[in-house]
Amino acid sequence: MDLFEYQGKEFFAGYGMPVSAGEIAFTVAEAVAAAERLGTPVMVKAQVHTGGRGKAGGVKFAADTDAVREHAGNILGLDVKGHIVRRVWIEKVSDIAEEYYAGFTLDRSAKKHLGMLSVEGGVEIEAVAETNPDAIAKIWIDPIEGLSEATCRDWVAAANLPEPAVEGAVEVLLKLYRAYSEGDADLVEINPLILTLEGSVHVLDAKVTLDGNSEFRHPDYSQYDATQSRDEREEAAHAKGLQYVGLDGSVGVIANGAGLAMSTADVVNQVGGAPANFLDIGGGANADVMAGALEVINNDPAVKAIFINIFGGITRGEEIADGILEAMERVEIDSPIVIRLDGTNADEGRAILEPHLTDRLMMQPTMLDAARRVVELAS
């Protein structure tokens, strides 16, 4: 779950990090009222789940309420990389002496948490990594051991933060790691983390991605789920509890398991096609789940053919076959379907499907054969 900047700052504040006073606004009138309460000057900042707001004109300084009215009017409704701005964050202006970057994420190859810290803040960390990689100090943290103060101080020293920023940076970084680990986050970033003219270290921006699977440990995370940016297809799939990501191709993909779904999308690309989605139905290939998946894909007008790629594990092949057939009775399908069924009791499952095969419902023995056939049909 990606958080808006203001949500990220509220999340950070819950772990004791210093953030600027601000208010969220959905209309120009609300933005002006917020600025009057906060006191000008303020920043008017677009809230979208993407970067590049500043370049798109979505971050503006407002010296007075007239400027707030003008900027809020221009920013609300603005298109930032395909994301329409529906809310703005009105924030008290900070006096900046220096800007830094700090972030934590998971390094899957090292099986450890990765911390990154740089004196070159305020720009995309990818650009820093490309132009001046030595400017990024990295540490790898064993999740069992965590981040100690001593390690954090060594890290700050390696990043060459100036002396006035050291104590404040250590304090913020320890709290940032706690937010990352205890908050079940996939990513936390502060860019920029600033040193103010008064000599304090302060959080000026927040980028947070939370693990949606941890919601059972954090009941309040439902508020973040409610503000996720989804297109109509993704919203419909989410309502049915399906793991779905919309793409731009013409081959609808249904698979059981995230790895198999990604492999299915890859093999469709490999044989010259383009997947219209990533859809993982998990271990439950029963009629209800399959019907929901087919309904979501069938409602996508870009889909010209559907690839159902199932490998039976705990769910047996005959149960999968019965689920597919029952689902097809519930949903009127516009596109031809190609099935690849393998794994536990696959022979039994294929035998159930065999009498129902037509030029609209086909079956292929391998994933590659099925991909070739479905791409041919989609073309």
Instruction: Judge if 121 and 245 occupy the same domain.
Output: no
Is the pLDDT reported for residue 225 higher than 80?
Answer: no
At residue 195, the pLDDT reads: 97
In a domain, 119, yes or no: yes
Of 259, 258, 236, 255, nearest to 246 by C-alpha is 236
Q: How far from 48 is each of 4, 7, 126, 135, CA to CA, in Å?
A: 6, 11, 20, 28
In a domain, 132, yes or no: yes
Structure confidence by residue, pLDDT tens digits, 165-179: 999 999 999 999 999
At residue 233, the pLDDT reads: 64
Is the pLDDT reported for residue 230 higher than 60?
Answer: no
Active-site pick, 189, 295, 318, 319: 189
Residue 40 to residue 133: CA distance in whole angstroms? 38
At residue 227, the pLDDT reads: 65
Would you place residue 198 in the very low, low, confident or very high pLDDT band (cuts 50, 70, 90)? very high
Lowest pLDDT segment from 23-32, 110-119, 123-132, 162-171 = 123-132
Would you place residue 243 in the very low, low, confident or very high pLDDT band (cuts 50, 70, 90)? confident
Residues near 295 by Cβ (< 8 Å), separated by ≥ 6? 236, 240, 331
Instruction: Judge if 114 and 138 occupy the same domain.
Output: yes
Whole-number mean pLDDT of the chain?
Answer: 91
Instruction: Judge if 248 and 328 occupy the same domain.
Output: yes
- Total number of domains constituting the chain: 3
Instruction: Judge if 129 and 155 occupy the same domain.
Output: yes
Q: What is the DSSP letter of 14?
A: T
Residue 357, both tokens: 């095969």
In a domain, 267, yes or no: yes
Instruction: Judge if 249 and 209 occupy the same domain.
Output: no
Is the pLDDT reported for residue 285 higher than 80?
Answer: no
**Phi and psi angles of residue 248, each rounded to the nearest 5 degrees, phi first:** -110, 10
In a domain, 13, yes or no: no
Q: How far from 140 is each of 103, 155, 184, 324, CA to CA, in Å?
A: 12, 10, 17, 46
What residues pair up with 99 in beta bridges, in sequence order? 194
In a domain, 11, yes or no: no
Residue 335, both tokens: 């596109």
At residue 305, the pLDDT reads: 96
Residue 74 to residue 285: CA distance in whole angstroms? 48
Q: What is the mean pLDDT of residues 328-347?
A: 90
Is the pLDDT reported for residue 31 higher than 70?
Answer: yes
Q: H or E stretch including 241?
A: none
Residues near 284 by Cβ (< 8 Å), separated by ≥ 6? 256, 315
Residue 243 to residue 342: CA distance in whole angstroms? 21
The radius of gyration of the chain's CA atoms, rounded to the nearest angstrom, is 25
Instruction: Judge if 372 and 245 occupy the same domain.
Output: yes
Instruction: Judge if 189 and 117 occupy the same domain.
Output: yes
Q: What is the mean pLDDT of residues 293-306?
A: 89
What domain range is 353 assigned to?
Answer: 232-378
At which of 204, 225, 246 does a domain end? 225
Q: What is the mean pLDDT of residues 159-167?
A: 96
Would you place residue 64 in the very low, low, confident or very high pLDDT band (cuts 50, 70, 90)? very high
Q: Count other C-beta atoms under 10 Å from residue 344's C-beta.
A: 16
Instruction: Judge if 275 and 296 occupy the same domain.
Output: yes
Do the bridges between strand 243-246 and strand 79-80 make them parallel or antiparallel, or are there none, so unpaired? unpaired
The DSSP code sequence of 189-210 is EEEEEEEETTS-EEE---EEEE
Instruction: Judge if 202 and 331 occupy the same domain.
Output: no
Is the pLDDT reported for residue 292 higher than 70?
Answer: yes
At residue 220, the pLDDT reads: 87
Q: H or E stretch including 271?
A: none
Is the pLDDT reported for residue 199 higher than 60?
Answer: yes
Of 12, 29, 164, nearest to 103 by C-alpha is 12
Instruction: Judge if 82 and 103 occupy the same domain.
Output: no
Q: What is the mean pLDDT of residues 289-302?
A: 85
Is the pLDDT reported for residue 231 higher than 60?
Answer: no
Q: What is the mean pLDDT of residues 221-241?
A: 66
What percentage of the chain carries pLDDT values higher than 70?
94
Q: What is the CATH number of the domain that holds 78?
A: 3.30.1490.20
Residue 277 to residue 261: CA distance in whole angstroms? 9
At residue 209, the pLDDT reads: 94
Active-site pick, 101, 177, 180, 224: 101
Is residue 101 part of the annotated active site? The answer reads: yes
Greatest Cα-to-Cα distance within the chain, rounded to the nearest angstrom: 78
Residue 367 to residue 115: CA distance in whole angstroms? 39
Instruction: Judge if 141 and 247 occupy the same domain.
Output: no
Instruction: Judge if 259 and 339 occupy the same domain.
Output: yes
Q: Give 109-156 as a 3 state SS string.
A: CCCEEEEEEECCCCCCHHHHHHHCHHHEEEEEECCCCCCCHHHHHHHH
- pTM of structure: 0.73
Q: What is the mean pLDDT of residues 211-235?
A: 76
Residue 63 to residue 39: CA distance in whole angstroms? 10
